[in-house]
Amino acid sequence: MHIVICMQNHAYVGFNMDNKMKILVVYYSRTGNTKYVAEKIAGILKARKDEIIDLKDRKGKITGFINSMSDSFQRGLTEIEFNEDPNKYDLVIIGTPVWSGGITPSIRTYLTKNGIKKVAFFYTHGRNPANVYKDFENLSARPIATLGLKGINVKSRESQERIKEFCNQIRNEVEI
Ligand SMILES: Cc1cc2nc3c(=O)[nH]c(=O)nc-3n(C[C@H](O)[C@H](O)[C@H](O)COP(=O)(O)O)c2cc1C
């Protein structure tokens, strides 16, 4: 297994508006649903974003999908790239699509590589999110807030409300 980490020098490291807490939103997204939610959350909380890149090509509608299904079913790891060091942040908010009832290989690799202490967790899903919380918590600390949204509904009014609630819950937990 090979993990590539690209660290960049940033003068600004994701302080929220009041400079009280450094928050990072980390996510993987194959088709954009989780990315959409990540961008909303980062916008509301004024947090820095870091998109995890899975170096295995997962784009094709047939081969990409089948490879992804098979890798996630086996709960395997993959090669990833990301930019930010999560240890420099007070809270890391992690987002994933549900694959084979759990988290994606890229997020599994990220959590295995980084022992993050304070986390919040969100996911987007299709028909059945199944064991995604359990899968996440097996590799991570217990999240201070959680959110699950159906992928095809992420832009709905109801989802916008639930994203705001999730952010409010985080604000209350960490006293931003
Ligand atoms: C390989 C693969 C496996 C999936 N497995 C599940 C699943 O077990 N349960 C579920 O509810 N959705 C499943 N989905 C649907 C995705 O979780 C859903 O479309 C999600 O919103 C995609 O997020 P993204 O656009 O950020 O990639 C799967 C999708 C893919 C590509």
Residue 70 in any domain: the answer is: yes
- Most informative mutation of 36, 99, 104, 135 for ligand 1 (most atoms within 8 A of CB): 99
Is 64 part of a structural domain of the chain?
yes
* Residue at 123 is within a domain: yes
Residue 19 has a pLDDT of 52
Kindly state whether residue 151 falls inside one of the protein's structural domains. Answer: yes
Rounded to an integer, what distance in angstroms lies between the CA atom of residue 154 and that of residue 136?
21
- From ligand 1's centre to the CA of 108, what distance in Å? 15
Length, in residues, of the chain? 176
* DSSP bridge partners of 119: 92
pLDDT of 64 higher than 60: yes
pLDDT tens across 137-155, in order? 999 999 999 999 999 999 9
- CA of 126 from ligand 1 middle (Å) equals 5
Question: Taking 70 as the threshold, does the pLDDT of residue 109 lie above it?
Answer: yes
Count of domains in the chain?
1
Residue bearing the CA closest to ligand 1, atom 3: 99
Of 155, 90, 154, residue with least CA distance to 122: 154
Starting at the edge strand that comes first in sequence, how are the strands of the sheet with 23-27 ordered? 48-51, 23-27, 91-97, 119-125, 146-150
Give the per-residue pLDDT at 36.
98
Closest atom of ligand 1 to 68 CA is 1
Q: Supply the residue whose CA is at minimum distance from atom 15 of ligand 1.
A: 126
pLDDT for the residue 27: 98
Domain residues for 53? 23-174
**Domain assignment present for 5:** no
Give the CATH number for residue 134.
3.40.50.360
Whole-number Å distance, alpha carbon 37 to ligand 1 midpoint, is 14
Backbone φ and ψ for 36, nearest 5 degrees, come out as: -60, -50
Number of the ligand 1 atom closest to the C-alpha atom of 124: 21
